[in-house]
Amino acid sequence: MRKYLIIMTLLIASNNILFAQQTPFRTSIGYAKTEAEKQALDFVLKYEEVISGGFYPLKNGTISYTPDIDLKLGSGDAFNGIVAKYTGLMQFSKSTTLPDGTPVLQFDKFIHVLPFSLGIETDKTFNNINGIFEFGYVPYYRNLTQGENFKNKSVFIKTLLRDSRVGGFIQVGYKFSVIDSIQVMDSGGDVDESAENPDDAIFRLKMRVEYVPTLVLSDNGFGVGVKGSATTWFDMLNNETYYNILGAFSILINSKTSIDFSYEKGSGAPNFNEGEQYGVGLTTTF
């Protein structure tokens, strides 16, 4: 019961921040069935905009921060992980100067995005809690398709630039052992299959590629979309590699709501226990 109280506390705390700041957020809740016919619950809470007061100007850039919660509460061989973190974004691009001397960022140019996060990784048994600091680089090039250099480029090239994302990250932290693993009889998705040892350091390299094209068919946002993503983790301390592949098809009900059908294979933090599952979910922006 205590572990579920901790989960609810995380959600309530995030919602208190949310409503206090009146910030839009995107929530997704889904149901999945795995290759072993086990069930899983997937819940994601992401803020669509930075929190009020969490946006600061920098020379040739800006810095902002936003909370991010991702829960996968599976059983059996299902995916099982809880990630709760605060993410900051440093953005830099070329700037121009107005006649009065005010510098203005040129957002139609290439933008360098440096995300950094601080948070925890655990699973629904709370056997171990990973404290993680993450720093990465995600180039933003979607806006380049509006420039003169891409005026005569093919639709495929423009779509690829507009709807794709790629990023590299460094994750460092520590794996805190909460419960003596010898006394816990884990099974299926609760088994820690990672090579990371309890009460030891964590050092990973992470790469992520994503392609999310959509086709809007009406003014209210009705349409269809697909999503493909691939994520790889390199455990530098234990010489291990993990991966996750996700494919999804979405029916866009309107500009804020979609029904998502997905297939996922591989693993994920913190247990990195490999599996395969199919799911359906509902995503809404408030």
pTM for the model: 0.79
- Asked whether the CA dihedral 138, 144, 145, 151 is positive or negative, the reply is negative
Report the pLDDT value the prediction gives residue 167, as an integer from 0 to 100.
94
Q: Are 91 and 61 in contact (CB under 8 A)?
A: yes
CATH number at residue 253: 2.40.160.40
CA distance 172 to 234: 12
Amino acid 75: pLDDT: 60
- pLDDT for 190 equals 66
Q: What is the mean pLDDT of residues 153-170?
A: 86
- H or E stretch at 2: helix 2-21
228 or 23: whose pLDDT is higher?
A: 228
28 or 165: whose pLDDT is higher? 165
Instruction: Please give the pLDDT value at position 24.
Output: 52
Give the per-residue pLDDT at 239: 96
Higher model confidence: residue 265 or residue 17?
265
Range of the domain at 203: 2-285
Count how many domains the chain has: 1
Residue 206, pLDDT above cutoff 90: yes
Query: Does the pLDDT value for residue 236 go beyond 80?
Result: yes
What is the sign of the dihedral through the CA atoms of 96, 98, 102 and 107? negative
